[in-house]
Amino acid sequence: MYASVRDDLRTTLDEIRAAGLYKPERVIGTPQSASVSVASGEVLNFCANNYLGLADHPEVVTAAKEALDRWGYGMASVRFICGTQDVHKELEARLSAFLGQEDTILYSSCFDANGGVFETLLGPEDAVISDALNHASIIDGIRLSKARRHRYANRDLADLEQQLKETQDARRRLIVTDGVFSMDGYVAPLAEICDLADRYDAMVMVDDSHAVGFVGSGGRGTPELHGVMDRVDIITGTLGKALGGASGGYVAARAEIVELLRQRSRPYLFSNSLAPVIAAASLKVLDLLESAGDLRERLNANTALFRTKMTEAGFEILPGDHAIAPVMIGDAAEAGRMAELLLERGVYVIGFSYPVVPMGQARIRVQLSAAHSTEDVERAVAAFIDAREALKG
């Protein structure tokens, strides 16, 4: 049986390669940092979600080592059996306080967090209204629920209001949006979304994975940026980006929502607990965030410098001021070749194409970090210019 299946799979893989959509995995031989070692040598890393440069921060690494001695390596259990330690409860309390929510529940990833919310809270008599560019984990989580599914065009408030009008017969309505859209760097208009939610009696959920830690005056994400921390009902996020870069996710929300998730959320009930070493290191990250104003300022300066220099050089950068700076290429194969040329010039980036982004909108998503120096950013711009000339030749 498998022989025929294998031939079909090989054909599919060949088609992916021919379309320029194949995604190779490069092996890094060093810790995650502004510079990393790959097969071709040391390169500048402009494709990680290491926004604040904390993935290899010495205090975070030390906290992780100490946690291994104190708490052990893993829990070998789920939370409600014997998988809860003091360090898990402390991290949940700290995240709640940091994000301005009543309670928090930890997951093994934000993908799992988004996968566990919708089917727990919503049934056939309810409606979920989702931004068209929301993360795949939100889309999959919605599919798991029996709620009526509605979609509005990206950041289109008129379309959102129309969906709210059409779902007024629903028992519960939940508006869900990314805080920052990961392929574009666009920020959701949360204040206006909350206004519509108030007007039409809906709840608001935000996946703030690409914002918590560095967006907002205190790094508390897009609800802080827009002044709506007390108006967002559910915040999901990750520990795997700005908050240390390891793994793990969370839902921070109203107390009753979190309590129900502890009782019925399947990814929480049937997955091993977050490793205690990650929980402990994440607590150290939250300590560092209290005095991370300089890191956020450096990240903002690097972002502004890159966006300005690349625009002056004639590249098309999607507008905004987020550390995600998409360099638009268009053709998938060309984006992949550009990424290869950049790697040859000592800059590690990735070309993104369909199905991650719409067909014909391939891009190189550059991600700035506080760990980059001004010289790093200028070198990256120079490499883009040189690679563009090589691509033409």
Give yes or no for a contact between 154 and 132, defined as CB atoms under 8 angstroms apart. Answer: yes
Q: How many residues does the chain have?
A: 393
Region for residue 273 given its phi and psi (left: phi exceeds 0; alpha: psi -120 to 50; beta: otherwise): beta
Distance CA 82, CA 61 (A): 26
Q: Among the options 109, 182, 273, 369, which is catalytic?
A: 182
Distance CA 97, CA 293 (A): 18
For the question of residue 182 being annotated catalytic, the response is: yes
For the question of residue 210 being annotated catalytic, the response is: yes
Cα-flanking dihedrals φ and ψ of residue 141, to 5°?
-65, -40
Structure tokens that stand for 27 in this block:
């092996």
Structure tokens that stand for 150 in this block:
């509605």
Give yes or no for a contact between 168 and 125, defined as CB atoms under 8 angstroms apart. Answer: no
Distance CA 236, CA 109 (A): 10
The CA radius of gyration of the chain, in Å to the nearest whole number, is 22
CB atoms within 10 A of CB 331: 15
Structure tokens that stand for 139 in this block:
């889309």
DSSP character for 28? P
Relative orientation angle of helices 58-71 and 276-289, to the nearest 10 degrees: 140
Q: Among the options 210, 309, 322, 372, which is catalytic?
A: 210
- Bridge partner residues of 151 (DSSP): 130
Q: Are strands 173-178 and 127-131 parallel, antiparallel or unpaired?
A: parallel
The set of residues, in sequence order, having a beta carbon less than 8 Å from that of 2 and lying 6+ positions away, is none
Distance CA 377, CA 205 (A): 35
Structure tokens that stand for 340 in this block:
């290869």
Q: Among the options 150, 226, 241, 284, which is catalytic?
A: 241
For the question of residue 284 being annotated catalytic, the response is: no
Structure tokens that stand for 350 in this block:
């990735």
**Which H/E stretch holds residue 299?**
helix 293-312
In angstroms, what CA-CA distances link 371 with 53, 61, 137, 223, 375? 5, 16, 28, 25, 11
The residues that are catalytic are 182, 210, 241
